[in-house]
Amino acid sequence: MPKTSVVNIRTEPEIKQAIEELYSAFGITVSDAVNIFFKKSLMQNGLPFDMQLPQYNAETVAALKEAELIGKDTNRKRYSSFSELLSEVNEEMKQDV
């Protein structure tokens, strides 16, 4: 069925901008999100669900950035398996004793 009804929503420009950016992270438009919300509301006969991006603390954000940098470092030694890494660590520990 073609979409022929229009729903106007009034909000502050800052909220509109923020919500467009948020929904864009999910790959949908505000119109898509409203239609999803309406359909799920009808299916659930009420408010349907929570949909939000994860909120990481500063320590986790720093760890994610560090992991990304490590993954991009072409000079970092690579291992073909965890066993290979563990063997090297064990050898280094024997040398330090």
Its pTM stands at: 0.46
Give residue limits of the domains in the chain.
1-52, 58-96
* CA dist., res. 84 & res. 80, Å (int): 7
Convert the pLDDT of each residue in 31-76 to its tens digit.
999 999 999 999 989 888 776 788 899 999 999 999 999 888 888 8
The answer to whether the CB of 48 falls within 8 A of the CB of 40 is yes
